[in-house]
Amino acid sequence: MQRLELKNVNKVFGSGTNRVQALSQVNFEAKAGELTLILGPSGSGKSTLLTILGGLQQPTSGEVLINGNRFDGKRGKAADDFRLKHIGFVLQSYSLVPYLTVAEQFQLVDKVKKAGNLPPKQFDNDLNRLGITSLLDKYPGELSGGQSQRVAIARALYANPDFILADEPTAALDSARVQEVGRLLKDIAEKEEKAVVVVTHDLRLKEEADRIYQLVDGKISLEKS
Ligand SMILES: Nc1ncnc2c1ncn2[C@@H]1O[C@H](COP(=O)(O)OP(=O)(O)OP(=O)(O)O)[C@@H](O)[C@H]1O
Ligand SMILES: [Mg+2]
């Protein structure tokens, strides 16, 4: 069973008068088969938590565990390979490549990760559900915020990762789209046995969530499990 955990995680930025404690003694768990939501206002530490969970930055103290094994402190090629194969990120900034069309963003995934990506039929179905099939020839500069967001989600799904970590994936979407994206993420968690973690301040996603945490000033509490 795929499982992601944080144990007593603290994250401190800066020192002296610039010191910010972004995360305080955070304990957290996300499991395959579940859509886990972390709700919190701006500045509460959501992006910090998500990037620590996926190994993009390190905790100041505490442990990050993947399937029970320590993941914090892992650096270098083995850690990069693991991330590439097993973790899909949807970052707050979308991070699409400006000079590649939407279709080419996905082809780029094939170049960096040669095996295990979604078969065309399954991916077409995701593109349809995300409503971006007609955007394949467009460049990121020609997309709206909501369209870019859905392309970033599709790119993460395409690599077929075990863990999907999404930062505010619905911030730019209207309510109908939010519900569709919520259902899609829940379906992927349940039917494909993946652990999907979404950090957001979007309360509209609560309906679809299996497990809900609240994050306030870097402190986490479990609201629903
Ligand atoms: N690299 C950094 N250096 C210094 N402080 C940082 C850094 N990253 C985050 N912080 C601080 O940590 C706190 C949490 O930031 P974080 O980006 O995790 O919040 P967030 O919940 O994702 O906010 P938002 O909803 O606005 O994206 C904030 O006070 C922020 O200023
Ligand atoms: Mg953030």
pLDDT tens-digit series, residues 56-83? 999 999 999 999 999 988 888 888 888 9
Angle at alpha carbon of residue 221, lines to 220 and 225, rounded to 5°: 130
Domain count, the chain: 1
In a domain, 12, yes or no: no
Residue 3 in domain: no
Q: What angle do CA 66, 163, 52 make, to 5 degrees?
A: 60
C-alpha of residue 167 to centroid of ligand 1, in Å:
12
Residue 131 is part of a domain; what is its CATH number? 3.40.50.300
* Domain hosting residue 164, numbered range: 30-52+73-224
pLDDT truncated to tens, each residue of the chain (225 aa)? 789 999 999 999 999 999 999 999 999 999 999 999 999 999 999 999 999 999 999 999 999 999 999 998 888 888 888 898 999 999 888 889 999 999 999 999 999 999 999 999 999 999 999 999 999 999 999 999 899 999 999 999 999 999 999 999 998 888 988 998 899 999 999 999 999 999 999 999 999 999 999 999 999 999 988
User: Which residue's alpha carbon is at the smallest distance from atom 17 of ligand 1?
Assistant: 47
* 114 alpha carbon – ligand 2 mean position (Å): 30
Q: Around Cβ 131, how many Cβ atoms within 10 Å? A: 15
Residue 24 maps to a domain: no
Inside any domain, residue 63? no
Ligand 1 lined by 22 (C-beta under 6 Å): yes
Q: What is the pLDDT of residue 224?
A: 86
